[in-house]
Structure 1
Amino acid sequence: MEKEIVKAKSQRHKRVLKKREPKIHENDKRTLFIRGGNTSETVTTALKELYLLKKPNAILFRKRNVARPFEDYTTMEFLTKMNDASLFLFGSHSKKRPHNIVIGRTYDNQVLDMIELGIENYQSLRSVNGSKCSLGTKPCLIFSGSDFETDDELRRVKSVFTDFFRGPVVDNVRLSGLEHLIQFTAFEGKVFVRSYKVALKKSGSRTPRIELDEMGPNMDLLVRRTHLASDDLFKKACRKPKAAKPKKVKNVTTDVFGAKHGRVHMQKQELKNLQLRKVKALKRKLSTDDTKTKVLKK
């Protein structure tokens, strides 16, 4: 199927299309938070609080959108394309699927992966006493449980959670800036999500003592349905352009600590043929025997 070529009708439209063009280094992914036709108080609170944690790269829709992503995902594709977003979180509530959320991501304006989850034992930010981390903080993600490595479905669920919660892409993170930690634990088909605030305490040395204070939101997620991309499409979506890959420098390696080591290659030198400066002090003095032989030769 050939992709439709859209021509710009105005200068503003031209700037919008240029902004949406593929880039070597893509911008930070934007997330849409969408309310379904019917939502419970638990789902509404979860959407608002996750939206606060994802700010500023997030958009919360105030109006309701009647949609069923697993039956017809054209609505999700349309909304993500119009808002230039790659991730979405859709919340709904029904008798058959109570407290339901759908986390999905797109590739080339088409739905790539979708996961339907049921919220159980939700604990909001307000219900947990204590200090909170600042908005826009990049979280540290920890995945516990062997199911994330052995189960093919949960392995892709782990990839979706990483893409959704990882925050902005940065090169370095300073220790004092590590304030938020999210732990995902897989056990018996459920994923337990716990959120903590990292507190740095004095330890008497340069390395501080780390304590975790429960912050919220906390929830138990039940995996209900999944819509996963094929291996070929997933591999194509993860492909990196050659220009984005760092160029390999010959004879330079980097160890586990980030230090660079260089190797210098030198040819074998013949010291006998080494040309030196002709200095009188370095000239060989003739002995008496050498002078006699020299006179005889003459």
Structure 2
Amino acid sequence: MLIKGGNANLTVTEVLKDIEFFSKKSDCSLFLFGSHNKKRPNNLIIGRMFDYHVLDMIELGVEKFVSLKEIKNSKCPEGTKPMLIFAGDMFDVNEEYRRLKSLFIDFFRGPTVPSIRLAGLEYVLHFTAVDGKIYMRSYKVLLKKSGCKIPRIELEEMGPSLDLVMRRTHLASDDLYKLSLKQPKGLKPKKKKNISHDVFGTTYGRIHMQKQDLSKLQTRKMKGLKKRPAEKSAEDGGATPKKS
């Protein structure tokens, strides 16, 4: 749900009821509010709902913006599912940045698909948090010939790009946030032993192996690895081979 502020003096906190009303009417869980005034120029407010009530809401200031048209490079088709990359310690150590990262994932992750072909991995959204700013960059993945089966990967900026700064935040309490993460039993996948998943849905497996005896490891037989007669005699107790 995209909302553009018509009244320059209007704030999101004053229209929360309207946002919740339209969220319920359109069954929409995410919203983006854009406004501009002297006090907070080029302002974006990104948020999400839980049970048709505002859960998290973060205000971002746009300090620099480069549009798609300004970057004269080839573009990805509309609706391409992006790969999301987050760089910067703030996304892991700061609670506000952690919630912002989670919001970005909800906004840009795209539809859930069972599988994807290699050529479909052509769109990268990169977020970098450094020195109190968030840099958002969009890249197209180029697969180049590398002389082997695995192609060489290059990233070409295609836009848009934004330099953002975090302003005000309205975050749900820890208890409410945990409640919003709960899934119905019918949708929650059954836990499998030694298998875990991250926020992107990537599957990780833990393998338990017994201690290996490397002395029994089968190696390639090469002339340089064969034991010399002197080494064999040393292993046999120093006995020299008999001459016929």
TM-score, structure 1 as length reference: 0.63
CA distance in structure 2 between the aligned counterparts of 1:237 and 1:248, rounded to whole angstroms: 20
1:133 to 64, 76, 81: 76
- Segments of 5+ residues of structure 1 without an aligned counterpart are 1-31, 40-65, 262-298
Structure 2 match to 1:207: 150
Deviation at 1:248, TM superposition (A): 5.3
SS at match of 2:28: coil
Structure 2 match to 1:33: 2
SS at match of 1:95: coil
Is 1:176 the equivalent of 2:119?
yes
- Supply the RMSD in Å over aligned alpha carbons: 2.4
- Distance change (3 Å), C-alpha of 1:254 and 1:152: closer
Cα deviation per residue 1:61-119 (whole Å; 9 max; x = unaligned)?
xxxxx852134411111111111111111100000000001101001111111111110
CA distance in structure 2 between the aligned counterparts of 1:38 and 1:257, rounded to whole angstroms: 47
- Distance change (3 Å), C-alpha of 1:231 and 1:126: same
CA distance in structure 1 between the aligned counterparts of 2:190 and 2:100, rounded to whole angstroms: 32
Is 1:165 the equivalent of 2:108?
yes
- Distance change (3 Å), C-alpha of 1:248 and 1:121: closer
Deviation at 1:34, TM superposition (A): 1.3
Task: Please list, as runs of the form range in 1=range in 2, the aligned pairs for 1:30-109 lying within 5 A after superposition.
Answer: 32-37=1-6, 67-109=10-52
2:99 to 139, 156, 170: 156
Deviation at 1:139, TM superposition (A): 0.4
- Segments of 5+ residues of structure 2 without an aligned counterpart are 197-201, 208-244
Deviation at 1:197, TM superposition (A): 0.7
CA distance in structure 1 between the aligned counterparts of 2:52 and 2:88, rounded to whole angstroms: 33
Task: Please list, as runs of the form range in 1=range in 2, the aligned pairs for 1:202-281 lying within 5 A after superposition.
Answer: 202-247=145-190
Deviation at 1:124, TM superposition (A): 0.2
- Distance change (3 Å), C-alpha of 1:254 and 1:96: closer
Identity %: 55
CA distance in structure 2 between the aligned counterparts of 1:100 and 1:175, rounded to whole angstroms: 37
Structure 2 match to 1:296: none
TM-score, structure 2 as length reference: 0.76
Structure 2 match to 1:122: 65
CA distance in structure 1 between the aligned counterparts of 2:195 and 2:179, rounded to whole angstroms: 29
SS at match of 1:88: strand
Amino acid at match of 1:171: P
Q: How many residues align?
A: 202
Amino acid at match of 2:3: I
Moved more, 162-171 or 111-120: 162-171
Tell me if structure 2 keeps the 8 A contact 1:118–1:222. yes
Q: Which has the larger radius of gyration?
A: 1
CA distance in structure 2 between the aligned counterparts of 1:244 and 1:218, rounded to whole angstroms: 36
SS at match of 2:100: helix
- Distance change (3 Å), C-alpha of 1:207 and 1:128: same
Cα deviation per residue 1:251-279 (whole Å; 9 max; x = unaligned)?
x87699889x9xxxxxxxxxxxxxxxxxx
Moved more, 240-249 or 120-129: 240-249
Amino acid at match of 1:110: H
- Distance change (3 Å), C-alpha of 1:234 and 1:187: same
SS at match of 1:77: helix
Moved more, 68-77 or 177-186: 68-77
